[in-house]
Amino acid sequence: MRDLFRPGRSVAYGCEAMIATSHTLATAAGLSVLREGGNAVDAALAAVAVQCVVEPQMTGIGGDCFVLYAPANGDVVALNGSGRAPAAATVAKLGEFGLTGDIPQTSPHAITIPGAISGWTKLHGDYGSVPLDRLFRDAIAYAENGYPVTQRVAADWALAAPLLAQDEGARSAFLAGGHALREGDRHAQPKLAERFREIARDGAAAFYRGEVAESLVRRLKALGGLHTLDDFAEAETAAFYATPIKGEFRGYDVYQCPPNGQGVAALMILNILGGFELLDDLPLAERIHLHAEATKLAYHHRDALVGDFDHLPHPVETLLSDETTAILRRRLRRETAMAPSLWHEPEHKDTVYLCVVDRDGNAVSFINSIFSSFGSTRYDPETGVLLHNRGASFRLIEGHPNAIGPKKRPMHTIIPAMLRKGGRNVMPFGVMGGHYQAAGHAAFLSGVLDRGLDLQAAIDAPRSFAFDGVLSVEPTVDAGTIESLRSYGHKVAIAETPIGGAQAIWIDAEKGLLKGGSDPRKDGAAIGF
């Protein structure tokens, strides 16, 4: 039990159904659908639609999605709703535009054809039970009439204001009098309400064909993009189902979407950590060190080897094999921070997550993203669509698995997850936070399964992230632990903003209970009934 004298959150409980999101208005929207008899997919779509309005810095219909759907009795299904590069996009072509390193956040070449709406409509058509006009009702109302800006959203908004100011459309839509909206301000997006109505009426075609697609292509071409109407038309049905990948951790099956997502990195971290005892009495510095070293090894492989599934140099099974795990585990030093290396020795960022469990035990793990804060910050005032910048993840290196190419999907950081045991659903869960997500999955699961923390305590626990040569730790990590980490050889930095955010729902079949947690680093809640 948590210390009730200290600020904090208790685990949420329910008996029939539960939803957990990063925004209370989204949680409320999904909860009302569940109360009316809608299923987990229905509730997830209602909630994510609201998030596309009330968390514009994190997600939108101009972004991408990944989903794991786990029916109570049946196999887990992975939905890939990520967008592809234009057919004309190549490393050589972008080189003609002077791009040879990273693709800038605001570049039109960072904008792949958004895949979210293709994913939403496919998922709804196959598994939904409530009409889209009902599911989008709250999102339409908030977009048309306005919603209050919450505390965390306002903080992110302020940080993004300089970039928003550089785009005329974004400036008019998201800066009031040249300033970011503040906590408690009311914000509306009436054009977005129109898009939701059209998608509810006409399906994905309302986004990928006709006037909306024409306007988006004009906007992108004016910015120098390579996008065409054919690219958008093909994207209408581009979302697809795939067989999930899975690993084992402490007797449970952990499901992830296959690449182009980074779920394989989460499973690699868990595989490495599976060889160590990480019980609650382990000193925090040692726990953070082991997690950091496993993360560095897994992410090194991710960056070198993961991209579009059709362009992987090695099967996922190879990266997750016992042989690879044993090699990587041997390279981890308990006393010293080391540089990572690939197993075969070659020479050579913002998101919303939600989960739902319905009265029949069906579970959904759902993530939707525009990548960087406010995505590309490229906004089309004619349609009200803010475009993501997921293409910034592409590499401009010929022959690299994640090199940009015609109709390729970039490596994605967004990864929903599902925990099962004996073929039964145990927990949909996810961790937001750009590159942190794979590391966050492993840390959260270890907190629950190794340390015996309840969901909320595991979410609340101080976070750390080893990335790009720096070990970032939240200010809640004590000074003694930080000094110990430095003695290992880590370059430690105190995080200036919270590291990620998480939601999870645990299904206690024996007691007939649902237990939910939602991250206090965001503005959301887990609620059941």
- Active site members: 351
How many other β-carbons are positioned within 10 Å of the β-carbon of residue 341?
15
What CA–CA distance (Å, rounded) separates 157 from 168?
Answer: 16
Write out the DSSP string of 384-451: TEEE--GGGG-B-STT-TTB--TTPPPPB----EEEEETTEEEEEEEEESTTHHHHHHHHHHHHHHTS
Write the CA distances from 55 to 331, 333, 419, integer angstroms.
Answer: 41, 41, 27
Distance, CA of 204 to CA of 198 (rounded, Å): 9
Amino acid at 138: D
Nearest in space to 248 (alpha carbons), one of 448, 426, 419: 419
For residue 21, how many C-alpha atoms fall within 13 Å in the half-sphere facing its CB? Answer: 30
Query: Which residues, in sequence order, are CB contacts of 41 under 8 Å at separation 6+?
Result: 69, 123, 124, 127, 128, 129, 356, 362, 364
Torsion sign (Cα): 367, 371, 377, 382: negative
Tell me whether residue 4 is exposed, middle or buried, using C-beta atoms within 10 angstroms of its C-beta: 0 to 12, 13 to 18, 19 or more: exposed
Structure tokens at 356: 């739902």
Reference 121, options 216, 37, 205, 34; nearest CA is 205
Q: What is the DSSP string of 322-338?
A: HHHHHHHHHH--SS---
Instruction: Describe the chain by its helix, strand, coil percentages, rounded to 5.
Output: 40, 20, 40
Distances (CA, A) of 524 to 45, 57, 67, 116, 450: 16, 15, 20, 22, 26
Q: Which residues contact 151 (CB under 8 A, 6 or more apart)?
A: 183, 523
Both tokens assigned to 347: 């020479």
Amino acid at 372: S
Task: Please report, in angstroms and rounded to a whole number, the separation of the first and last CA atoms in the chain.
Answer: 21
Which strand ranges, in their side-by-side order, compose the sheet holding 470-473?
A: 464-467, 470-473, 492-494
Element containing residue 54 per DSSP (H, E): helix 40-54
365: enclosing H helix or E strand: strand 363-369
DSSP 3-state of 104: coil
